[in-house]
Structure 1
Amino acid sequence: MEQRTCRASIVVLLTLLQGFLSCDAVEIQPSMNPAVVGSTVTLSLTPSVSLTSGNWAVDETFILTWLGEQQAVFPGYSGRASVNVTSGALMLRALTVSDSGLYQVQSGHPLLKASVFLTVVEPISNVTLRVNRSDLIEHQASGLISCSVSIGSSLSFRWMNGSSEVTAADRVQFTDGNSSLNIVRVSRYDSGPFRCEAFNPISNGTSDSVNFTVSYGPDNMRLTVNGLNATVFSAGSNLSMLCLAESNPPAQLQWGFRGNLVNATGTMLELFHVIPDQSGPYSCLAFNSRTNMYSNVTTHITISRSERLQANVFLLPLLLLAGFALSLSGHCGYFSL
């Protein structure tokens, strides 16, 4: 008698184990995942099974239960949820973002339990940028750009500067799930154009571009004369001195000679028919009224006597000597008479 009871218990145990094992083999297959807001999704069991009863729940919240041909839908899902009483497949309509979660089906005939995580996302539209301030001074201010969408969920963000992707660095910081870009102590190379790309598993969108106005300089000044690096010129030459400075807004330029300001402004100083007395240091002084910064560059110009004048100076003693010799020869002839 005891042996029969033991055998019966083993048979029941094996049956239960087979039921649990079959449970592990069954999976839930959504008709789409992620699913789109407003659409309908069907959660089917694979491989297909025949269920006479069971229930569906999401994150511990019951959706519906069924027994034979009868099914009962819980509040919050009335009119949206239904089950195929034969296969146990759940159909959920008019999806919302809040329908995302872990869906679970359980049945006692046969013994079954399976789950799947369903994501419901909203398509992205109207990606926009907001800038805290657009007029910045180099190395003195930080630029903050925020990216937002009017519609969309499960968002990820990517930032572009022109055709290059912006990545985190010492001066580049991302906050609020990468939806905000902060550039610390902006440089002249941080002007943009910046744009934001927002995307989720079903859609994407790109904002219009924005630029920072970064004021900088004046610095990296250069001074050339007649387009050359030469500093020695002949008397009588015409000189065009060009002064350049990296500056935004453009720097105000003032010229100086031998430490004194001259009545000349702008990028060009022109001198005509120069003489040796115009040799000396020429300076270009730059001022940026936005950054309140000054800079200058100086070059020393030497004006040499012209070659014609030097030749005349060299020939003059020879001519005088020749004249004196002729004069002597004349006197000698006179006395010979």
Structure 2
Amino acid sequence: MEKKFDGTSAIVFLALMHSFLASDAVEVKPSINPAVVGGTVILSLSPSVTLKGGSWAVGESLILTWLGDQQAVFSGYSGRAFVNITTGALTLSSLTVADSGVYRVQSSDPQLTVNTSVTVVEPVSNVTVSVNQTDLTEFQSSADIKCSVSSGSSLSIIWMNHSSEVTANDRVQLTDGNFTLTIVNVTRYDSGPFRCYVLNPLSNGTSDPVHFIISYGPDNMALTVNGLNITSFQSGSNLTMLCSAESNPPAQLQWAFRGKLVNRTDTLLELCHVGENQSGPYSCLAFNNQTKAHNYITTHIVISNSGLDHQALNVLLVTLLILAGFTHTLEDVCDSLRP
């Protein structure tokens, strides 16, 4: 049996379809999103729709209802929420972070339900960092840095070491929502400067830098003779030995020859007109009074007789220098280490 739709049924069907299509096509557009704490946001329907009544809610909380030219505002929104009774646009002022959420407008004439999300953000202000101590010892101490802000919401935090971002690993821990940075067993490369960069969708801020003084060494010692990589020299040569060590604070140095201390405590040991009896091991000893660590390096010097009368040559050289007007000799700046 064939069913027929009368004219009334067709009109009702078309009206329902129009209402459905209108609701489906309507959007709620915030005037600003994210919105700032203390500011105002207007939630407008687009395209514009003429509503005879309805309600606004955020989450499960009703904000207001209206019918015709009458509206009722619920507790918590009195004095800061009102609706345009023609367009249904909601104006909400004196915003707080708690006003963030999903806003929903409902109407029965025409029938529609539309949602939109609004985020209310408090700007970032006064980003600072604090530390318990800044004097640390390599491989023995841990660095703890705490970041804080006077105000701000929806925060993201990035830690920077120089211009590089700090990320978590076996030695680096980020806790308290990334507000605390801990570096376990610091190394000499963890001296900083460290900064805390805080941002949200509205603003950002950066702390002042914090530096650590990290004591380390002595290590990576080096000992050169006359700037060369050789250790064999002819009798009568002048030798300048240079000792270096990576250390903070700078290491205290001490020289030794054949295991006996020499009265030299700086980076240079200078020997003039060396003889064969000055062959042997030369050592540079380093000590760091902060880390209480020590280290040393030894080189074996071989002095051989070339068969030339270097003493006679030196006498001739000194004579020529005196004749040329010079009054000092190489012996003035050299040490003579003879057993």
TM bracket, shorter-chain basis = 0.7 to 0.9
Structure 1 CA distance for aligned equivalents of residues 291 and 240 of structure 2: 29
State the 1:32 CA deviation. 0.5
Relative to total residues, which structure has the larger helix share, 1 or 2?
1
Aligned to 2:28: 28
State the 1:10 CA deviation. 8.2
- Where do residues 67-82 of structure 1 align in structure 2 (5 Å cutoff)? 67-82=67-82
Aligned to 2:162: 162
Aligned to 2:183: 183
Structure 1 CA distance for aligned equivalents of residues 17 and 177 of structure 2: 46
1:84, 1:90 within 8 Å by CA — same for their partners in 2? yes
Deviates more, 1:8-17 or 1:256-265: 8-17
TM-score (norm: length of structure 1): 0.85
Aligned to 1:268: 268
Deviates more, 1:297-306 or 1:19-28: 19-28
Deviates more, 1:212-221 or 1:83-92: 212-221
TM-score (norm: length of structure 2): 0.85
Between Structure 1 and Structure 2, how many residues are aligned? 310
Aligned to 2:243: 243
Aligned to 1:108: 108
State the 1:8 CA deviation. 6.6
- Where do residues 190-209 of structure 1 align in structure 2 (5 Å cutoff)? 190-209=190-209
Unaligned 5+ residue runs, structure 2? 313-339
Give the counterpart letter for 1:143 in structure 2: A
CA deviation string 1:21-41 (max 9, x = no partner): 432322110000001111111
Aligned to 2:63: 63
Aligned to 2:284: 284
2:236, 2:310 within 8 Å by CA — same for their partners in 1? no
SS at match of 2:273: coil
Unaligned 5+ residue runs, structure 1? 313-337
Aligned to 1:229: 229
1:236, 1:306 within 8 Å by CA — same for their partners in 2? no
SS at match of 1:202: coil
Aligned to 1:259: 259
Counting aligned pairs with the same residue, the percent is: 65
CA spacing shift, 1:9–1:146, aligned 2, 3 Å: farther
Give the counterpart letter for 1:211 in structure 2: H
Structure 1 CA distance for aligned equivalents of residues 59 and 207 of structure 2: 36
State the 1:182 CA deviation. 2.1
Structure 1 CA distance for aligned equivalents of residues 214 and 12 of structure 2: 80
Aligned to 1:127: 127
State the 1:126 CA deviation. 1.1
2:235, 2:310 within 8 Å by CA — same for their partners in 1? no
Structure 1 CA distance for aligned equivalents of residues 110 and 35 of structure 2: 29
Give the counterpart letter for 2:99 in structure 1: D
Give the counterpart letter for 2:299 in structure 1: T
2:51, 2:85 within 8 Å by CA — same for their partners in 1? yes
State the 1:263 CA deviation. 1.9
CA spacing shift, 1:214–1:311, aligned 2, 3 Å: closer
Structure 2 CA distance for aligned equivalents of residues 307 and 245 of structure 1: 37
CA deviation string 1:224-262 (max 9, x = no partner): 112222212233332221110011111111111111222
1:162, 1:192 within 8 Å by CA — same for their partners in 2? yes
Structure 2 CA distance for aligned equivalents of residues 22 and 175 of structure 1: 49
State the 1:307 CA deviation. 4.2
Give the counterpart letter for 2:213 in structure 1: T
1:217, 1:291 within 8 Å by CA — same for their partners in 2? yes
State the 1:159 CA deviation. 1.8
Structure 2 CA distance for aligned equivalents of residues 53 and 67 of structure 1: 4
Deviates more, 1:272-281 or 1:118-127: 272-281
CA spacing shift, 1:108–1:261, aligned 2, 3 Å: same
Structure 2 CA distance for aligned equivalents of residues 241 and 170 of structure 1: 42
- Where do residues 136-147 of structure 1 align in structure 2 (5 Å cutoff)? 136-147=136-147
Give the counterpart letter for 1:295 in structure 2: N
Aligned to 2:51: 51
